[in-house]
Structure 1
Amino acid sequence: EPVPHGGRRVWLHHGSSVSHGSDAASPSRTWPALAASLGGVDLVNLGFGGSALLDPFVARTMRDTPADLISVKLGINLVNLDLMRLRAFTPAVHGFLDTIREGHPTAPLLVVSSILCPIHEDTPGPTAPDFSTLAEGRLRFRAAGDPAERAAGKLTLGVIREELARIVEQRSAEDPNLHYLDGRELYGEEDFAELPLPDRLHPDAATHLRMGARFAEAAFAPNGPFAAHRD
């Protein structure tokens, strides 16, 4: 029997393994779950480990899923897989957002870029295992690309953040409910100094707590994109 609707707003979120909950203490302590609890909303988490790749089927799923609030967190998996170049990235983002807007033309839609990940800030992918720590029982990752390849259109997190901000600014002229959040506001350089990424890619449990609180503060604040009574 379906659970009765509790009357709370529904937040639909899509992202990478960081949103999926890699290294979180429990499913209820992933950063999106914590942010939803603090924001007083019901979460539908479409975090796909390794697969936040601007796939059209994901956009169609989001289009067809009832929701009051929507967010998409984009960047790291595109770099991990060295999936596309800047020329393909820009229209792919536009197409992804266009599809979501077909089903949710006026819902608050927040585009979030990647949290800080030093190995890929200025170095393209692909991401490769770093086996040097296996003897210690730890797996870490490294960037296998070359910074010089940015000139040929390869993506880094810095390139993606700049382009996402530009796309949102351009589209928001006709879509006032479209917003952008730099992921480094959730986890940035000072956070990395205090709570480094254990495998150089994924935040630990303590960082999930911090990210959830910061997202809630940014998104659900009285003037935030997910405010309860936003004008």
Structure 2
Amino acid sequence: MVYWAPKTAGMWPTVFFGSKLLAIAVFLLGCQHETGQRLPYYNTPDFTPVFIESETEVAGKIPHTIGDFSFKDQHGKTVSQKDIEGKIHVADFFFTSCGIICPRMTKHLKLIEKAFPNDPHLVLLSYSVTPWIDSVARLKKYSLTNGIQSKNWHLLTGRKSEIYQLARQSYFAEEELGFNKDSTEFLHTEHFLLVDQHKRIRGIYNGTLELEMEQLIADIKTLRQKPE
């Protein structure tokens, strides 16, 4: 996977380690050359890539999966882990009152929506990080304002503690910097996370960069061609 500008600031400035990311980038590029289109797995919050040659080894080497959840979307529908079983999904974290970064992320996620129009094998999950503000009605208004049309794109709200725990413990949304934080500390990240049909993380992308969406689209196609 080619991800490989240093991460930029999310909704508020966050310090990232550019040299570490550059080293990972070089490693990934080399591994991609050796392994063709096989995508890495991410099993820990430091996003160390793990390449596995045999599918029979995955369960033993990659125990981490996205945990169970249940939230309401912009239509008032309950969305849970059952809705992503056997499907690829892309997750991001936003809030409707965010002025610059979130609209850009939403615009870029619309590129994914456009590339896979109402694809039943792909789900987009946008979790609100201010669920105490972002009611179902507010999320509905946001979806209309931003022209979100796909029935498989869910803007989610629910209990703050549950969203924050899922974001940090399951999606590693803020990498190792956020893994041990609790729900009293505001969640902010510009990352998009790609998760495969077995709820394992396969990619991380900067949602503020349009170029990264091209890679995300390519990686989704890879997972669709080679279901694992």
Scaled by the length of structure 1, the TM-score of the pair is 0.29
Q: Identify which of structures 1 and 2 has the higher relative contact order when contacts are C-alpha pairs closer than 8 Å and 6+ apart.
A: 2
Q: Name the structure with the higher helix share.
A: 1
Scaled by the length of structure 2, the TM-score of the pair is 0.29
The structure with more radius of gyration: 1
